[in-house]
Structure 1
Amino acid sequence: MKTRYLFPNRYKMLGWILLVPSLVAGILMILSDQDLFNLEATVFALYDSGIFEPDKAFMLTRNNIADELVAITAIVGGLLAAFSREKDEDEYISQIRLESLLWATYINYGFLLFSVVFIYGTAFFQVLLLNILTLLLIFLIRFNFILYRTKSASYA
């Protein structure tokens, strides 16, 4: 079966190599009260905090870019790990992929609805930040679990 929109299989390992350390670094950054990495840089900002302040738009600003780098690495790694072909990509794996994506979407938005109703203030902003990766993570967990279970059953 020809899958047009998946990355080649060789990118799967690269995705895991990028995803796992960036998740560990991200968790450490969230749990730490101080900056773990201080990577100050001057960056271009489309908009820099404040509400409706035109002087804060389209400007250069100093920022610790460690959290942006960790997020970019986690997103790229998650996309490569999740959407690279399997070695033997067939209709059954495509079906598992589709069902896993559907499950991940339902769980992700269920979590988001729960958060909208029960979480407020800056904690809600943190939930939204975590929500960036939950769809990919839920998909990866379910897809790989079903593949593992299927392969284990076929060897038994």
Structure 2
Amino acid sequence: MKTDYLLSPSCKKVGLWLGIPFVLGGLYLLLDGSWMDTFLSQMGMKDCFDELVVVGLAVCLLLASFSCEKDEDECIAHLRMQAWTLAIVCNYLILIVVTLCIYGMPYLNFMAVNMFTVLILFLVIFHWKLLRFRKENHE
């Protein structure tokens, strides 16, 4: 199947491995730990650290999400579309519930995380569906 919008399968591994330090940096930003402020100040990165984490995490998640499988066909493309649909629906249900229940700074923290939840949900749902599909077809 010809898919012009998908990247090479190797991009998924690159995105996932490079994502590890950016996820750790994002957790640091969420937990607001001051133990690393001196280190970041000495490196001259204190002012741009949050931008670096957000851009890096976005690029890594996009690489992992838009990489094709080695055996990409119409069935896997259908699973991909189902996973995208389910990820968007789940993301907006979570967004609605949190908007109604959380206020103030915790809501802003949630919105920062919510920038990435569609991609994270897609990756989890797609690989879960793909695992189930391959398990059912190989038995």
Where on the TM-score scale, by shorter chain, does this alignment land: which range?
A: 0.7 to 0.9
Residue of 72, 75, 82 corresponding to 2:65: 82
Matches within 5 A, 1:41-120: 64-120=47-103
Q: Which has the larger radius of gyration?
A: 1
User: Structure 1: which 5+ residue stretches go unaligned?
Assistant: 42-62
Number of residue pairs the alignment of both structures matches: 135
| Cross-structure match for 2:108 | 125
Matches within 5 A, 1:136-147: 136-147=119-130
Matching residue's letter, 1:139: F
TM-score by length of 2: 0.88
| Cross-structure match for 1:60 | none
Matches within 5 A, 1:21-40: 21-34=21-34, 36=36, 38=40, 40=44
Matched residues in 2 for 1:25 and 1:103: separation?
A: 28
| Cross-structure match for 1:20 | 20
| Cross-structure match for 1:53 | none
Structure 1 residue 146 displacement after superposition: 1.1
Matching residue's letter, 1:29: L
Structure 1 residue 7 displacement after superposition: 1.2
Matched residues in 1 for 2:32 and 2:59: separation?
A: 24
Deviations 1:46-105 (A, max 9, x none): xxxxxxxxxxxxxxxxx6211211111111010010111111110111111101000110
- CA contact under 8 A between 1:97 and 1:143: conserved in structure 2? yes
Structure 1 ranges of 4+ moved more than 3 A: none
- CA contact under 8 A between 2:22 and 2:53: conserved in structure 1? yes
Structure with the higher fraction of residues in helix conformation: 2
Matched residues in 2 for 1:24 and 1:145: separation?
A: 24
Structure with the higher fraction of residues in strand conformation: 1
Structure 1 residue 35 displacement after superposition: 5.8
- When the two chains are superposed, the root-mean-square deviation of aligned CA atoms in Å is 1.7
